[in-house]
Structure 1
Amino acid sequence: MSRRASCAFGLLLLACGGSPAPPASPAADAVVLSVVGTNDLHGRVHALPVFGGYVRTLRAARADDGAVILLDGGDMFQGTLESNLAEGAPVVAAYQALGYDAVTIGNHEFDYGPEGPASVPQEEGDDPRGALRARARGASFPFLTANLLQESGERVAWENAPPSVLLERAGVAVGVIGVTTEETLRTTIAANVADLRMAPLAERIAREAEALRGRGAQVILVAAHAGGECEAFDDPDDLSACDPSAEIFAVARALPAGAVDVIVGGHTHEGVAHVVNDIAIIESYAYGRAFGRVDLVVAPDGGVLERRVHAPRELCATGEPSAGDCVPGDYEGRAVAPDPEVAELVTPAIEAARGARERPLGVTLTAPFTQTRYAENPLGNLFTDLMRVAHPEADVALTNGGGLRADLPAGPLTYGALYLAFPFDNRFATLEVTGAQLAAIVRENLEDDGSFFSLSGVRAVARCEGGALEVTLTREDGAPIAPDARLVLVTTDYVATGGDGFEAADVTVHEARTVRDGMSVALEAVGGQLAPGERFDPRAPRVFYEGSRPLRCR
């Protein structure tokens, strides 16, 4: 047996040639299944040729002793001009060339809405999942979804979207199940999922696993758009550096013993390479930055003899795929080179987006406008300011931290950079609120640990008084806002229709242009230089409170 094959048999060894005691010798006819997981690509097609080089290298390593199984944990498409202009088609084409065995559906797979430019249905008969279903129909691999239901409670019946699939790899019967976070219906455009329901993940996984075992599956894998968060990867059994409340950990703990062997997670954009309830779980950040891997040594009778959980593998030792300076380094003892077939497939999408990506917006940023999902930040404040420029009738603008996806870099600003920072095709939405209602929105947001609501046009001060959190509002000039004052608020249609827990009535959605395009016009009108310190001063924030979210008054 080769040293490479022997290394893969090491139970939870961190590296070949390390100091731990050698593993017991497996049966001579056991095989190694290398389960490779990706997640949350969000349209970063530049990363796929480099990733393809790793896949080719690993397949060469497994050629004599097993097979590679390639799964994706969802949120494949939405996020870049290269992918969005063709509603995810370039990603599907590249995934086919890479040889993906199966993917699951992420919450942002619903963002495109019907096929074509509209992001939500415009006329009777428009399919709110038209773009997603078109991508599934055209794929050579299944889009697995076991817990996505119709209003009737029946599972959705879409072409090439079964709940699970039974594969044969290296003589092993492998069942794969797909599930999606129960947060889905409140973390995408509400109009596109209004008639759908989500079943509990663990319940549906257990049901499908039992059925697959009944059909002869020897190994069960799950592609799940649900994830966790860990900070250390030196010991897969040590969960002390992980968030114990993570959704995918709760799912794993709820599964019957022996039901599942490996879960490929996603959604949280964090790293996981750990074992929970004897199930190996991997998640590898986001945007094509890394991939995960679990090696399973499978006996002829289908029993899993040993496993090795690998830490997330960064694609680039130095550089970035999008900048063209990615240096992958070695993998499995071989130099990694980008896959030329995948590179050829994604090049047309990159070239089609180049003109729009490089278009200047007429402003220069003196320093990066940074973003964070959970607290006030320069980018969120800039975007809300621009929303008020785009809709001058609005007294207040509000946006959610989950919509901020990348920092804006220093220097002349391009449309491509703005697109990466706000890749969603959301529309503006306006509604009328009272001062008391706006104060309640701010209070409830501060008492929650989800996306922070950035504001423009008002200042808020939150303090504990009499055991309750009280919010006082003023206008930018310091004038108080009375509880019965009537204010026009502009936000995104995602937020206005229920995203991130926002509740509103009598919303007007402005379909004429996307929020992003409205902000680009506003930037061109503003011109000149923009400094992040002018939008956010941590010593004088727009939303003042003591402590950290979620706030609690005792």
Structure 2
Amino acid sequence: MLSVPRRPTSAVGCRSAVIALVLSLWATEPAFGAPDEPLHVIVLHTNDVHGQVQPRPALWLSEDDPPLVGGLRRLASTVRRVRAEGERTGAGVLVVDAGDWFQGTPEGLVDHGRAFVRVLLAVGYDALCVGNHEFDHGLPHLVNLLADFRVPAVCANLYEPGAGRVAWVEPWKVCEIAGVRVGLVGLLTPGTPHITHADAGSLHFADPIAQLARARAALAGEVDWVLPLTHVGVDADVELARAFPDLPLIVGGHSHTFLREGRREGETLIVQVGSKASAMGRVDLWFDAETKRLLKLEYEVISLLGESPEEFRNERVDEMCEHLVSFSEERMAVVVGELLGPLRRTRDRFRSSAAGNLVTDAMRAAVPADVAIQNRGGIRCDWEAGPITRRDLFELLPFGNHLVRLEVTGGTIEACVRAAVEGTAHSGLEFSGMVVEVSVDAEGAGRLTGIRIGGEPVERERVYALVTNSFLADGGDNYLSLKDSPARSDDPRMLREMLEEYLRSHEKLVPSDDRRYRKSEGR
């Protein structure tokens, strides 16, 4: 199978990226209008929707006046539009998701995600891979969720320890679309027990490569094509593609990677569309009508900017979304604490802020540790003095990061702080339990001159307990020295849940504006 890439176009609603796989004998195949017309299958895909009912500001397009993008209403209208296209042209349409369905917004958390999943199913998904965040409310919750709503979930690498596959989720699903039998195989990251509810530790998460091999063997002769729906991250998808070089397509998730043109690994196209229902991917595949051999594959990312076209509105989904938003508004209006002064961020790289002090102090209160660190880019708003609601918490800490406790050397902490001070990291740091001494020259460049932890100079070889968020613990913002910590303990509580507990315990709080950076002039 030969790969023929095409240059992407950039019109909204038009193909923004096209990748074609064309057989060398394509020119000898019958024309599409002939009796043996190729079978046309369209795969629409999402991943890491994370409860995004509402459209959200596309800050990556404009920070000053961002347009609204995505949300379930827009997804639903896109599905309806493409299904209508399929009815006109004879193409079959398959709608799939690669995991992490509800966790991440106020609306997604209504009734522990159950209400959101009802809306997600009304969009018209044919199969959904189980993601790690589906375990966030415990194993019984997930089992009941799948059963109560008959979720077409798939996951082939979930086992009872010492026994067979779990009985509460199907390993794969077989669909016949436009005359092509497709085996949809779900695969979940083996790291799930370390990043979600402790219940996940009662299961065995088998190796995805080995389990895909078993699935392919079991489906041999039953399907024409195996399509993995994975929640393992793009790097692991690359390993899958290398292990099975005949796979034409992998629909991925977990790493929140936006692959505008897909990622090519040999003859395999790996696709993923970021997160938060901001885009939908479309893969068009044509198969030989007799042999079911893949003839051609094209890929595009569908823009979800703007309102849903009236003619393709899904009124049921629209009504369910409205109900969910109104219900969540009541929950989000709950007051969790009161500030007796304003809470501000800072643009000064060598100055701590009241907002950063609050978040990191709350981290150390939730997870006993010598030091807490938080990336400044993860703190997204200021607060005025007065009552604080759950909606305020979501605006301050909108990302779905959870707490992580690491045991690291003083040298590792020093490397992180140096990256923040000297600008090699993508975001500065806020911290608790530590004082950082810096020297700043006339051009504004900083140099790390000292660190004190618990009032004492840092010891490079000593092991310290550090609490941070999961984004930084995974090496985010170029803090790569944290990524390979051998002693890691994940707490499933999100940062905003942790902060709510902290505010409730303090009732009325005066924001701390103490100086945790100590700055001197010159070198």
Q: TM-score with structure 2 length normalisation?
A: 0.70
188, 197, 209: which one aligns with 2:216: 209
**Deviation digits for residues 159-209 of structure 1, max 9, x if unmatched?**
2x11111111122211110001233232223x2222223322222222212
Structure 1: how far apart are the matches of 2:156 and 2:72?
A: 27
Residue 178 of structure 2 corresponds to residue 170 of structure 1 = yes
Question: How many residues get paired?
Answer: 448
Q: Unmatched 5+ residue regions in structure 1? A: 1-9, 114-128, 229-245, 318-326, 330-334, 371-375, 463-469, 542-554
Structure 2: how far apart are the matches of 1:501 and 1:109?
A: 25
Structure 1: how far apart are the matches of 2:129 and 2:311?
A: 27
Measured after TM superposition, the shift of residue 262 of structure 1 is: 2.0
Task: Tell me which residue corresponds to 2:267.
Answer: 278
Matches within 5 A, 1:147-546: 147-152=157-162, 154-159=163-168, 161-189=169-197, 191-215=198-222, 217-228=223-234, 246-255=235-244, 257-258=245-246, 260-272=247-259, 273-301=262-290, 302-310=292-300, 312-317=301-306, 327=307, 338-359=313-334, 362=338, 382-388=358-364, 396-398=370-372, 407-410=379-382, 412=384, 414-419=389-394, 421=397, 439=410, 442=413, 455-459=431-435, 473-475=451-453, 479-480=456-457, 501=485, 503=487, 514-521=497-504, 525-527=508-510
Alignment-mate amino acid for residue 160 of structure 2 = Q
Measured after TM superposition, the shift of residue 56 of structure 1 is: 0.5
Measured after TM superposition, the shift of residue 291 of structure 1 is: 1.1
Deviates more, 1:335-344 or 1:443-452: 443-452
Task: Tell me which residue corresponds to 2:122.
Answer: 97
Change in CA separation of 1:339 and 1:447 when aligned onto 2, cut-off 3 Å: farther
Structure 2: how far apart are the matches of 1:344 and 1:471?
A: 58
Three-state SS of the structure 1 residue aligned to 2:111 is coil
RMSD of aligned Cα (Å) = 4.9
Task: Tell me which residue corresponds to 2:57.
Answer: none
Alignment-mate amino acid for residue 503 of structure 1 = A
Structure 2: how far apart are the matches of 1:147 and 1:34?
A: 26
- The answer to whether the 8 A contact 1:408-1:418 is kept is no
Alignment-mate amino acid for residue 292 of structure 1 = G
- The answer to whether the 8 A contact 1:74-1:103 is kept is yes
Matches within 5 A, 1:136-151: 136-151=146-161
76, 81, 101: which one aligns with 2:106: 81
Structure 2: how far apart are the matches of 1:540 and 1:195?
A: 49
Alignment-mate amino acid for residue 98 of structure 2 = G
Structure 2: how far apart are the matches of 1:274 and 1:495?
A: 25
Change in CA separation of 1:440 and 1:17 when aligned onto 2, cut-off 3 Å: closer
Measured after TM superposition, the shift of residue 518 of structure 1 is: 2.0
- The answer to whether the 8 A contact 1:439-1:472 is kept is no
Q: Unmatched 5+ residue regions in structure 2? A: 55-70, 420-424, 439-447, 474-481
Matches within 5 A, 1:101-116: 101-113=126-138
Alignment-mate amino acid for residue 408 of structure 1 = R
Change in CA separation of 1:290 and 1:155 when aligned onto 2, cut-off 3 Å: farther
Once the two structures are aligned, what percentage of the paired residues are identical? 25
Change in CA separation of 1:515 and 1:165 when aligned onto 2, cut-off 3 Å: same
Three-state SS of the structure 2 residue aligned to 1:293 is strand
Change in CA separation of 1:486 and 1:198 when aligned onto 2, cut-off 3 Å: closer
Change in CA separation of 1:474 and 1:57 when aligned onto 2, cut-off 3 Å: same
Structure 1: how far apart are the matches of 2:216 and 2:389?
A: 48
**Deviation digits for residues 477-517 of structure 1, max 9, x if unmatched?**
x6436799999987799999x99857379x9999xx95132
